[in-house]
Every structure is written in structure tokens, then in C-alpha cells.
Amino acid sequence: MSFASPTFSSVIAVLPLKAESADRFFSVSSLSYTAWLTNSILVSVLVVGLILLFARQSTIRLRMVPGGMQNLFEALVEITYEGIEGIVGSHVAKKAFGFLASLFLFILFSNWFSLLPGVGAIGWGPRIAPLTLSEVEVPLLRPTTADLNMTLGLAVISMCFWFFWTIQEVGFSGFLKDLFGVKGGVKGMVLVILTPLFLFVGVLEVVSILIRPVSLSLRLYGNVYAGESLLHTMINLGHTLHMPEWLAMLMGVLIPTPFYFLELLIGFLQAMVFMLLVAVYLQLSTVHAE
């Protein structure tokens, strides 16, 4: 394991698309029990540990007049709950808040964790010196949300919870009626005429529901992956342009700085958008139950 050298053959730096298993790190057989442990899952474990540590330290000594971390934690919970309640209603919010808030915190911490020094920059690759690589081909720590497997998994689990809560609220027959039934309370001949049209609209709605996990996962993955590639490119821009070493190092600090702040904002917005879209899907299928 080594650090990457600032020498690159192209201006555009691209992260590997595939998350690598721990078997590659330790040269273990593919039949081992660690085949599932990839560098992105390792980061996921670290992120979950940080979230649990933050929650534990904030609530270990609860006070009537909160201060410090407890005050921050309670404010975060209150603001998130009010936002979710305003979308899905008070009844559904009591069921969905735990999952939606956890989803938001996990994605947010994952996005910001990827901006820490060393994430994606320390790993394995072709050597040009004993402790120097020409570039990192296999990072030790891969940003969690820059792995399509992880974002797709989050989207599929979110839609499973959406379907469960929807059936729980309106029932399976109510769900089918909402998809294919004629709206507006029309009767008689108008109902007969509109039935085929609403059946066709229902089929389109089913297709849109099936596409939701794809759109959710690709939106999050694309933004985080593009941001990581952009930062890698900006950090090494001076070296790729064959500038003097001191100037290249200076550019490697100054040029990426605005993009770091931009990625902090994008990381927050992507976590918020992912959570809000799941909440909106839930609201659209259960709001009439209230």
C-alpha cells in the first residue's frame, strides 16, 4: 500500500468503477469468507460507526436544558422530523421517521467522509518507487456513495419500505385502485369510456415505480462519482501540465479548495434530495388515507 505520485499521463483523473474485495488486498482465495468485504463496504462500516458514536455521545448524559452535542443532536432530530412530517403527515411520519432520518444521515456522512484526505488516494497501483505509485488503481478506502452497488442497494431498500408502508396504510386493493381506478368520482357511460384510459395510465405508473430505484441510485452515484473525479483532476492539474514542482504543489492546494466547499454543499443536497424523494413517493401513495 502506497501513496500515489503526482505524475499522471492524462489531465482527467478517473476513479475505478468496480469496488475491490479485501481478498485482493491480502491475496486470499476467492472462496474465502471475506469476498463480500469491499473497500466501499469498509467505508460504510466506518461511517455507521461514526454516526453511532455521535448519537451515543450526544445522548449519554441527557439534561433538561441541553447543551453542546445534545443540543446539536436534538436540533437535528427536530428539524428532520418536522420536515418529514410536513411531507408525509403526522401518522406516517411516526413510522417512517427512523428510516428516513437514518437514510439522510448515512448518505450525508458518506458524502462528507469521501472528502477526507487519503480517501481514494491511498491504495495499490503501479510502482515508480518503493513507497510511491504512478497512480492509485485500487484505493484502500473507496467513497461509499461513489459505488453504484451501494446506491442501488439504498434505493431498492427504500422502495421496499415504501411498498410496505403503502400496503400497511391503504391495503393492497386500495393500492391497485389508486393505480388503475378512475379518479374524479365519475359514473355511468363516462366511467366506461375512461376506464381503458386510466388502465393505460396505471401501467405507465407501474413502469415509473419500477424505474424509481434506478433514478434514485444513478442520481446519487453520478453526482458523488463526478465530484470525486473532479477533485482528483484539480489536485493533479499542475503536474499534468508539467509545471515546476513547487508551482504544481501550490496549485494542488489552491485550485481544489473552492471545489471542496462545493462538494460539501453537493453532499448535503444529494442526501437531502434522496430522503425527500422517498418521502414524496410515500406521501403520494398514502396521503389520501389521512
Q: Which residue has the cell 466501499?
A: 40
135-185 pLDDT per residue, tens: 556 677 788 888 888 899 999 999 999 999 999 888 888 888 888 877 766
Domain residue ranges in the chain: 2-289
Amino acid in the structure at residue 32 = S
pTM of the model: 0.80
CA nearest to 255, candidates 236, 229, 227: 236
13-71 pLDDT per residue, tens: 455 566 777 666 555 555 556 667 788 888 888 999 999 998 888 888 877 777 778 88
80: helix, coil or strand?
A: helix
Task: Name the maximum alpha-carbon separation found in the chain.
Answer: 83
Q: Which helix (H) or strand (E) is 272 found in, with range? A: helix 256-286
